[in-house]
């Protein structure tokens, strides 16, 4: 470990994914998975990968703008049992029967991902990971075929990154099967690119934390180059996750990519107004850096340069002195119609203010001079302000999520916010350690009073969490 000037531990640059022996708790789950594997394929698995989900404590919808985020890996995970097969097929079975058996030839991976006759089916996430790995593995090492049995317990479509756990697990196992060794950072970068094959233009936070995550501390994830710095959370703080019972699959709508596009266009419009070459600007951090300003100064720039009414494509093209076709190409807007409008000011304001909140959150967490109660109060305020911004400026919340945040606050949380991309999913609340069990019980009662939807169990809807270890390979 090295230490930066703030005394924080920096991750060693080329740390590898550990190969571990399972503990007793994991062993029980692996046995169920082994049984499933054997009954499907009639052979024993040769190794396992485990990739956790994550909860983002603060820094939402800013990774793809180049700004640092502060997530931690959680206990829930995706487990995969793996063996090499003699033929050149990929066979996938899932312990959960709602995810149907899938098989295809290794050569057909790209075709199957692109298959437009079905939506973002579960196996496509796995294939994205295989494709991403195959792109970096030397040809002579490429595996013949793969037998895999998957078992995940991260609530899907809920902002806890079940998708990236699955994609990253597929990358890791394909690389391992090829007897190839890649660092955690490289695997995270490959997995982030690989998941984009599903159609979402994600920023890389999820794949970074699922590989770099460490037990006991949250992590400040910075991009370009990818870096992870441990963030020690206050001893008396506990982060509690609660599910809103509204689910949203990110790859099945254009909501997520529209936000990415709005941020890109906002950055390009600001660059143009300030006489910078806008074609070279892709992210809000690019324009900040080219102007040499702080994120706080960028907030004033946004309010001066961008208007509140949604922009049309024509207006943006005219301002940038280009055509709609050229703009579509440069700014990756191919999936949006001419009628699509873009809220540039609101999205950019959220991003710059949220980026500033992340910096404050990490600084306060590790501040020694501040009393513990005061620390938690300040962290709570930052989280609540983040939620207000996601709801009002970014418009990616959901009525169920907003009402859950209100309930959490009424039950004694010091702050609460939507976590993950949103449009449903989970919230994360900060609670003092001595009040956690009372908080969980009361919140469950409140949720129960409002009703439990089909497919959900009250017992699973609220759970405290702590920073967990990132991805690992297991041998039994
Ligand atoms: P999240 O916020 O959980 O990452 P996404 O909308 O990004 O949600 O993607 C979730 C998708 O990942 C699911 O719809 C499903 O296709 C796939 N997935 C998640 N968990 C599993 C699992 N245990 N087994 C198979 N597929 C899974
Ligand atoms: P979820 O909700 O886990 O799919 C998504 C993106 C992140 C980040 C968050 C919002 C992917 C794989 N993940 O997470 O990169 O932008 O939304 O902060 O695209
Ligand atoms: Mg996801």
- Residue 158 has a pLDDT of 97
- Residue 470 has a pLDDT of 98
- Residue 1 has a pLDDT of 34
Longest dimension (CA), the chain: 66
Q: Of 206, 230, 286, 305, which one is the catalytic site residue? A: 206
Sign of CA dihedral 244, 64, 466, 390: negative
Neighbours of 90 (CB within 10 A): 25
CA-157 nearest atom, ligand 1 = 8
- Residue 13 has a pLDDT of 55
CB of 226 within 8 A of CB of 204?
A: yes
Which residues, 6+ apart, have CB-to-CB distance to 101 below 8 Å? 40, 91, 92, 93, 94
Cα of 248 from ligand 3 centre, angstroms: 10
- Residue 395 has a pLDDT of 98
CA-206 nearest atom, ligand 1 = 4
Which residues, 6+ apart, have CB-to-CB distance to 300 below 8 Å? none
Q: Is 129 in the pocket of ligand 1 (CB under 6 A)?
A: no
Of the candidates 197, 231, 228, which has an alpha carbon nearest to the alpha carbon of residue 211?
Answer: 228
- The residue contributing the CA closest to ligand 2 atom 3 is 161
Q: Is 23 a residue of the active site? A: no
CA–CA dist 54, 188 (Å, integer): 14
Which tokens is 322 given?
């280009």
Per DSSP bridges, beta strands 472-474 and 426-432 are unpaired
CA–CA dist 59, 42 (Å, integer): 46
Cα of 427 from ligand 2 centre, angstroms: 14
Mutational test site, ligand 2, from 205, 210, 393, max ligand atoms within 8 Å of CB: 205
N residues, the chain: 476
- Residue 143 has a pLDDT of 82
- Residue 186 has a pLDDT of 97
Element containing residue 129 per DSSP (H, E): helix 122-134
Give me the helices (H) in 74-121, please.
109-114
Q: pTM, whole model, 2 decimals?
A: 0.96
CA–CA dist 368, 364 (Å, integer): 8
- The DSSP line for 286-351 is HHHHHHT--HHHHHHHHHHH--SSPEEHHHHHHHTTS-HHHHHHHTT-TTS-TT-EE-HHHHHHHH
Of the candidates 350, 344, 356, 345, which has an alpha carbon nearest to the alpha carbon of residue 387?
Answer: 350
The rounded radius of gyration (Å) of the Cα atoms in the chain is 22
CB of 257 within 8 A of CB of 201?
A: yes
pLDDT by residue for the chain (476 residues), tens digit each? 344 444 443 444 589 999 999 999 999 999 999 999 999 999 999 999 999 999 999 999 999 999 999 999 999 999 999 999 989 999 999 999 999 999 999 999 999 999 988 889 999 999 999 999 999 998 888 888 999 999 999 999 999 999 999 999 999 999 999 988 899 999 999 999 999 999 999 999 999 999 999 999 999 999 999 999 999 999 999 999 999 999 999 899 999 999 999 999 999 999 999 999 999 999 999 999 999 999 999 999 999 999 999 999 999 999 999 999 999 999 889 889 989 999 999 999 999 999 999 999 999 999 988 899 999 999 999 999 999 999 999 999 999 999 999 999 999 999 999 999 999 999 999 999 999 999 999 999 999 999 999 999 999 999 999 999 999 999 97
Cα of 157 from ligand 1 centre, angstroms: 6
- The residue contributing the CA closest to ligand 2 atom 16 is 61
Q: Is 202 in the pocket of ligand 2 (CB under 6 A)?
A: yes
Query: Residue 227 burial (CB < 10 Å; 0-12/13-18/19+)?
Result: middle
- Residue 282 has a pLDDT of 96
Beta bridge partners of 3: 9
Helices 372-392 and 344-365 cross at an angle (nearest 10°) of: 170
- The residue contributing the CA closest to ligand 2 atom 8 is 61
- Residue 7 has a pLDDT of 40
> Torsions phi, psi of 153, nearest 5?
-130, 20
- Residue 365 has a pLDDT of 96
First and final C-alpha spacing in the chain: 29
CB of 167 within 8 A of CB of 124?
A: no
């Amino acid at each position: 470990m090295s230490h930066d000037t703030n005394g924080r531990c920096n991750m060693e640059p080329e740390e590898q994914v550990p190969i571990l022996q399972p503990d007793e708790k994991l062993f029980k789950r692996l046995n169920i998975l082994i049984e499933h594997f054997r009954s499907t394929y009639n052979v024993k698995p040769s190794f396992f990968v485990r990739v956790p989900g994550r909860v983002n404590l603060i820094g939402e919808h800013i990774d793809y703008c180049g700004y640092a985020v502060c997530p931690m890996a959680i206990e829930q995970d995706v487990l995969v049992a793996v063996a090499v097969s003699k033929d050149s097929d990929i066979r996938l079975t899932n312990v959960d029967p709602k995810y149907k058996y899938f098989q295809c030839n290794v050569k057909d991976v790209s075709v199957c991902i692109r298959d437009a006759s079905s939506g973002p089916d579960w196996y496509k996430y796995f294939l994205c990971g295989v494709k991403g790995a195959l792109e970096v593995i030397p040809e002579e090492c490429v595996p013949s075929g793969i037998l895999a049995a998957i078992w995940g317990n991260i609530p899907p479509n809920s902002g806890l990154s079940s998708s990236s756990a699955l994609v990253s697990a597929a990358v890791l196992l394909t690389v391992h099967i090829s007897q190839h060794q890649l660092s955690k950072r490289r695997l995270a970068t490959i997995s982030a690119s690989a998941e984009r094959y599903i159609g979402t233009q994600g920023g890389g936070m999820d794949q970074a934390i699922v590989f770099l995550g460490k037990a006991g501390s949250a992590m400040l994830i910075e991009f370009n180059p990818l870096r992870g710095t441990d963030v020690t959370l206050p001893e008396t703080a506990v982060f509690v996750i609660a599910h809103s019972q509204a689910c949203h699959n990110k790859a099945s709508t254009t909501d997520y990519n529209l936000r990415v596009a709005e941020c890109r266009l906002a950055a390009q419009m600001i660059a143009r107004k300030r006489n910078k070459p806008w074609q070279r600007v892709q992210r809000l951090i690019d324009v900040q850096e080219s102007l040499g300003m702080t994120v706080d100064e960028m907030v004033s720039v946004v309010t001066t340069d961008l208007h509140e009414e949604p922009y049309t494509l024509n207006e943006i093209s005219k301002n940038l002195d280009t055509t709609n076709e050229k703009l579509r190409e440069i700014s990756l807007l191919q999936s949006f119609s001419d009628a699509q409008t873009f809220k540039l000011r609101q999205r950019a304001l959220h991003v710059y203010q949220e980026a500033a909140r992340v910096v404050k959150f990490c600084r306060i967490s590790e501040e020694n001079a501040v009393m513990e109660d005061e620390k938690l109060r300040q962290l709570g305020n930052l989280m609540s302000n983040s939620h207000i911004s996601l709801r009002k400026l970014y418009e990616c919340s959901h009525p169920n999520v907003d009402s859950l945040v209100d309930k959490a606050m009424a039950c004694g949380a010091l702050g609460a916010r939507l976590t993950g991309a949103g449009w449903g999913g989970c919230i994360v609340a900060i609670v003092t350690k001595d009040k956690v069990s009372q908080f969980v019980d009361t919140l469950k009662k409140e949720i129960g009073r409002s009703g439990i939807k089909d497919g959900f169990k009250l017992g699973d809807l609220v759970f405290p969490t702590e920073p967990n270890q990132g991805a690992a390979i297991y041998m039994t």
